[in-house]
Chain A
């Protein structure tokens, strides 16, 4: 079996895994919604997660099965995905986002430490929410900007 076929089969297996897990989550979610509607948790989250996973699974299975059957547009899609330049750009964007995330988390931790001994003002609950959101949004933005700029530059 060629390396490409092995890669395709592994992708299809991952797709089936997501699909099966998604269906299981949907069934569990629906079961809980019907039989345990009184519990103080929002069980729709389980159903929603199941729908998301099943969708991802169907997408992976259909896409990579089409590639395996020799569909030219699907084949081109796979080439785009494995393209070394695209991978290089993605890794570079990920590397930059990683370091931005590290610096942000370090600054926040330092702030907490200094706030504890009174050197800096304490961080309130609302500000903490914004800081946490920033720790996610800023590295993600760096990733996207880096990706778009390198696509033009390289």
Chain B
């Protein structure tokens, strides 16, 4: 799933490790999320959205085609 995580993290001036510490996941998870290789659980998506004070849809871009991948 495409997302704006890297862009939003850079806007906040955080490193991947700093973001990982704040949402209590590993740095590798942030790397995988940013590259779109891993889709987060709904809980992690909410934690990220709350941290950036935006809606989940503002971070993660869902498209119908991805549903069957």
Interface residues of A (CB under 8 A from B): 76, 79-80, 82-86, 88, 151, 153-154
Tell me which of A85, A86, A88, A151 has the highest count of chain B C-beta atoms within 10 A of its own C-beta: A85
Q: Find out whether the CB atom of A79 lies under 8 angstroms from the CB atom of B28.
A: no
Closest chain A residue, CB of each to CB of B44: A84
Give every chain A residue within 8 A of B54 (Cβ-Cβ): none
Give every chain B residue within 8 A of A80 (Cβ-Cβ): 26
Q: How large is the interface on B (under 10, 10 to 19, 20 to 34, 35 or more residues)?
A: 10 to 19
Interface residues of B (CB under 8 A from A): 20-21, 24-26, 28-29, 32, 37-38, 40-41, 43-44
Give every chain A residue within 8 A of B25 (Cβ-Cβ): 79, 83-85
Closest chain B residue, CB of each to CB of A87: B41
Q: Is the interface of A mostly helix, strand, loop or mixed?
A: helix
Q: Find out whether the CB atom of A154 lies under 8 angstroms from the CB atom of B26.
A: no
8 tightest Cβ-Cβ pairs between the two chains A and B: A85-B29, A83-B26, A80-B26, A83-B25, A154-B38, A79-B24, A84-B41, A154-B37
Q: A84-B43, A154-B37, A154-B38 are in contact. List 12 more A-B contacts (CB 8 A).
A: A76-B21, A79-B20, A79-B24, A82-B24, A84-B29, A85-B26, A85-B29, A85-B38, A88-B38, A151-B28, A153-B37, A154-B32
Kindly provide the distance from the CB of B33 to the nearest chain A CB, expressed in whole angstroms.
8
Q: Find out whether the CB atom of B32 lies under 8 angstroms from the CB atom of A84.
A: no
Give every chain A residue within 8 A of B32 (Cβ-Cβ): 85, 154
Kindly provide the distance from the CB of A64 to the nearest chain B CB, expressed in whole angstroms.
16
Kindly provide the distance from the CB of A68 to the nearest chain B CB, expressed in whole angstroms.
15
Closest chain B residue, CB of each to CB of A79: B24
A85 to B44, CA, bound (A): 11
A143 to B44, CA, bound (A): 26
| 27 sampled A-B residue pairs with Cβ under 8 A | A76-B21, A79-B21, A79-B24, A79-B25, A79-B26, A82-B24, A83-B25, A83-B26, A83-B28, A84-B25, A84-B29, A84-B40, A84-B43, A84-B44, A85-B25, A85-B26, A85-B28, A85-B29, A85-B32, A86-B26, A86-B28, A86-B29, A88-B38, A151-B28, A154-B32, A154-B37, A154-B38
